[in-house]
Structure 1
Amino acid sequence: MKIIKLSAIDSTNSFLKEMAVNSVLENFTIVVTDSQLKGRGQQGNSWVSESCKNLMFSVFVNFIDLDIVYKKYLNYAVSLAIFDALKEENIPSISIKWPNDILSGNKKICGVLIENSLKGAKISSSVIGIGLNVNQTKFPIDLKKASSLKLITNKNFDLDKILKQIVSKLNERIAVLNSKDFNALELDYLNVLYKKNIPTMFKDSKDVLFMGLICGVSLEGKLQVMLEDDSIKEFGLKEISFL
């Protein structure tokens, strides 16, 4: 494991992707920064973070035999690694909000961006970006659902310690992925999935409200929701939100 520490950078994912293009990277090479100027989240969203207060890092992972059709299990492995690490820190009411936000209660404390490089029908490598709110206590007014480990526990955390815990857990979960024990990852992920099997009000991309039960995730990674007529409908990113 090689850790590259930077004081400030536009995006750890972009930096690590460029490194991967221009050099041969050791597996689990990590780029971590104190300040990320143009952090990126899912679907082109930005990631806002106060300098030196949070964990902003990316991890390069090589794969030998991971078919692209199983990419949802990579998402499971990453999400569960963060979940595992935070459980060890006794962060209360941790869950995974589909596809890979980490919540405490109903507050978002962590986001993930996975960018894959393909070789034919296989994932050859991934750059896994993780943004975890750790010691920040003030957030922009429009981020009403954002929180941090310090706000939740009223304690300060050692950023280096948390980083090493997450990477250690990521190593363990990636090993499960490489062993192709997909059932174990599926069971663990669905067991901690936010609002699973709880009647919930949703809104679709056309702003139509409806009730449903989250019941699973399709092989393509879409959220499966059971509707009031017992039919199951699948939704991609940006096609559904919690009301």
Structure 2
Amino acid sequence: MYIFILRSKLRNLLTIQTVKPNPKWLYAFDIIDSTNNYAIRLLEDGLAHHGDVVWALAQTDGKGQRGKKWEAKAGENIMMTLIVQPGQVLATNPFHLNMVVANTITVYLKNIYPYWNVAIKWPNDIFINAKKTVGILIENVFRGSQWSHAIIGMGINVNQHEFPEHLANATSLHNASGLRYDLKEIITDIRAGILNGLQASDWSSFEKVRAFYNENLFGAGSLKAFRLSQDDEFFEAKVLEVDQEGMLLLQTKEGLLKCASGSLQWLL
């Protein structure tokens, strides 16, 4: 089952993307408040299945990290949410899922254009050539004490050419390669990659997943500028790795600093 809402202002964009029928796992919209919000509503109504995707060409209230909005040009980029059941392998550590998602997207991007320098910027971004290309927002759904589902929101800059001044550090697949890409094809590939990654034996080992994540960690081994969320002053630190708890380890002048997600701002 899929839902498709057609509105005239995006008619041409939708025609390009819907030459082939949508698969049953895809809920496709021209415009929506938030793909994550809609996925949560599907779960609440008992309509969601493992592997379902909510995709919109535009969002009025797209979600980013730390309450920020995800900004993207309508019809040029991917705004999608994948619904998954974590399963027993990942059930004890939600950050395991974060790493599987980031690793899968990293592998995919490296495969489609090997000349890119693809890196995972902790905790939830993917950079191409030191510029933000993918944002990930995972919301976990619990039933009692059981982690029943994960709502994996992904924003991927695909064919957008120009970005506003306040997004000067963003790029797109098109800008990085000079090529244009089919949005639905990327959605299909990334969905398949993540679902396969949740089942693959290589990704079932937490330490194997963490090793790959750290091998591709943005800034690893170099000095970067940061600011703690509660502090206005910036500081420099050497990026070391992400530990077993999903915390970023930094080497500062004063010693080792362990940072939880949301406690640290990168100054790029």
Matched residues in 2 for 1:177 and 1:28: separation?
19
Counterpart in 1 of 2:133?
Answer: 109
Against the structure 1 CA distance between its residues 177 and 38, is the aligned structure 2 distance closer, same or farther, given a 3 Å change threshold?
A: farther
Against the structure 1 CA distance between its residues 179 and 108, is the aligned structure 2 distance closer, same or farther, given a 3 Å change threshold?
A: closer
Matched, 1:173 2:197: yes
Counterpart in 1 of 2:239?
Answer: 214
Q: Match for 1:19 among 39, 42, 45?
A: 42
Cα drift, residue 121 of structure 1: 4.3
1:34-63 per-position Cα deviation (integer Å, ceiling 9, x unaligned): 111110011111001111101111011013
> What stretches of structure 1 of length at least 5 have no aligned partner?
none
Counterpart in 1 of 2:215?
Answer: 191
CA contact (8 A) 1:69 1:219 kept: no
CA contact (8 A) 2:202 2:209 kept: no
Counterpart in 2 of 1:7?
Answer: 30
Aligned residues: 242
Give the 5 Å matches for 1:66-105. 69-90=92-113, 92-105=116-129
Q: After alignment, is 206-215 or 74-83 more displaced? A: 206-215
Counterpart in 2 of 1:126?
Answer: 150
Q: Secondary structure at the match of 1:138?
A: coil
Q: Secondary structure at the match of 2:61?
A: coil
CA contact (8 A) 1:216 1:225 kept: yes
Counterpart in 2 of 1:51?
Answer: 74
With normalisation by structure 1, the TM-score equals: 0.92
Against the structure 1 CA distance between its residues 181 and 238, is the aligned structure 2 distance closer, same or farther, given a 3 Å change threshold?
A: closer
1:107-165 per-position Cα deviation (integer Å, ceiling 9, x unaligned): 10110110001245442111101000000112221111111111111111111111111
Q: After alignment, is 46-55 or 164-173 more displaced? A: 164-173
Counterpart in 1 of 2:62?
Answer: 39
CA contact (8 A) 1:224 1:234 kept: yes
Counterpart in 2 of 1:141?
Answer: 165
* CA radius of gyration, larger in: 2
Matched, 1:64 2:91: no
Q: Secondary structure at the match of 1:162?
A: helix
With normalisation by structure 2, the TM-score equals: 0.84
1:82-106 per-position Cα deviation (integer Å, ceiling 9, x unaligned): 1111111116111010012010122
